[in-house]
């Protein structure tokens, strides 16, 4: 029974490590997309003088912040607590 509990704990730790690794990899691509989108939308808003073009940056920034907290922050520790 003790070996089974140790094995389950090890599998849980591996799953958590894989989830963090996937999040960090996703963050690389999403961060690039977010940066390019923010720069393009800002340039378009300035060029066309339409501040409404900046609105998509708000939800994208929430997604970026969540993914960053998941990969490099303390989200998983807070969830465990």
Rounded average pLDDT per 10-residue block, the chain, 81 residues: 95 93 95 97 96 96 94 81 71
Which pLDDT score, from 0 to 100, does residue 76 have?
76
Q: Say how many domains are in the chain.
A: 1
Would you say residue 3 lies in a domain? no
Would you say residue 29 lies in a domain? yes
Cα distance from N-terminal residue to C-terminal residue, the chain: 26
Q: Domain range holding 50?
A: 25-79
Which pLDDT score, from 0 to 100, does residue 31 have?
96
Would you say residue 4 lies in a domain? no
pTM: 0.79
Cα separation of 68 and 4, whole Å?
A: 34
Would you say residue 30 lies in a domain? yes
Whether 23 and 67 have beta carbons less than 8 Å apart is answered as yes
Would you say residue 20 lies in a domain? no
């Amino acid at each position: 029974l003790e070996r089974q509990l140790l094995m389950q704990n090890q599998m849980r730790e591996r799953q958590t490590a894989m989830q963090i690794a996937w999040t960090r990899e996703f963050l690389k691509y999403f961060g690039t997309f977010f940066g390019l989108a923010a720069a393009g939308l800002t340039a378009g808003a300035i060029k066309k003088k339409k501040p409404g073009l900046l609105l998509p940056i708000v939800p994208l920034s929430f997604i970026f912040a969540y993914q960053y907290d998941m990969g490099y922050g303390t989200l998983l520790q807070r969830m465990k607590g």
